[in-house]
Amino acid sequence: MSRIDRVFLVGPMGAGKSTIGRRLAARLALSFVDLDAAIEARTGVDIPRIFDIEGEAGFRRRESELLETLTRQPRTLLATGGGAVLDPANQRCLRERGQVVYLRADVATQIARTRHSDRPLLRGDDPAGRLAAILEARAPIYEAIADISIDTRDGSPERIAEQLARRLQQTEPSHDG
């Protein structure tokens, strides 16, 4: 059984990266870090406010900067933000430094799980249409960088975390260290 050192969760809004990530980290005895929460802690404001002040480009710069640092941290499970995989430099950090897990969710599931929170990219009309367009653009990236993936539509966060822990412990690390 291999020892897991770093795990990175990727996937769309509402897939459960933060929720499942916390449970999976506990099962693997890793520290849990949420990239969105780390950005908020560092700036002292929430993500919608960062989008308001600096736009998406400003948010992405902060996201990439912190991802570069946090993907070096040993014994860590990092739950990324839904769009963190857009930057090719981020993709390289994720692929080279740990096991990448893609949490899959369809648009209906995403809508059900995000409708009570303010997501800057979903403001305005037709959030389902936006989610579908975003997923279509990003799914190939999630698939390309992931070592393993799992469907999160069915099953509680605890059950999904249990399945992932088992699969990760059977998977040989594909990165250098």
Ligand X SMILES: Nc1ncnc2c1ncn2[C@@H]1O[C@H](COP(=O)(O)OP(=O)(O)OP(=O)(O)O)[C@@H](O)[C@H]1O
Ligand Y SMILES: O=C(O)C1=C[C@@H](O)[C@@H](O)[C@H](O)C1
> Of 106, 124, 122, 96, which is closest to residue 8 (Cα–Cα)?
96
Closer Cβ to ligand Y, 121 or 141, answer by number: 121
Determine how many CB atoms are found less than 10 A away from the CB of residue 28: 20
The reply to whether 17 sits near ligand X by the rule CB under 6 A is: yes
Q: CB–CB of 32/172 below 8 Å?
A: no
Query: For the window 25-64, what string marks contact with ligand Y as x by the rule CB under 6 A?
Result: -----------x----------x-----------------
Q: Which residues 115-134 are close enough to bind ligand Y by CB under 6 A?
A: 119-121
The reply to whether 18 sits near Mg ion by the rule CB under 5 A is: yes
Closer Cβ to ligand X, 95 or 104, answer by number: 104
As a whole number of Å, the CA-based R_g of the chain is 15
In the Cβ-directed half-sphere of 50, how many Cα atoms lie within 13 Å? 22
Site residues, ligand Y (CB under 6 A): 13, 36, 47, 81-83, 119-121
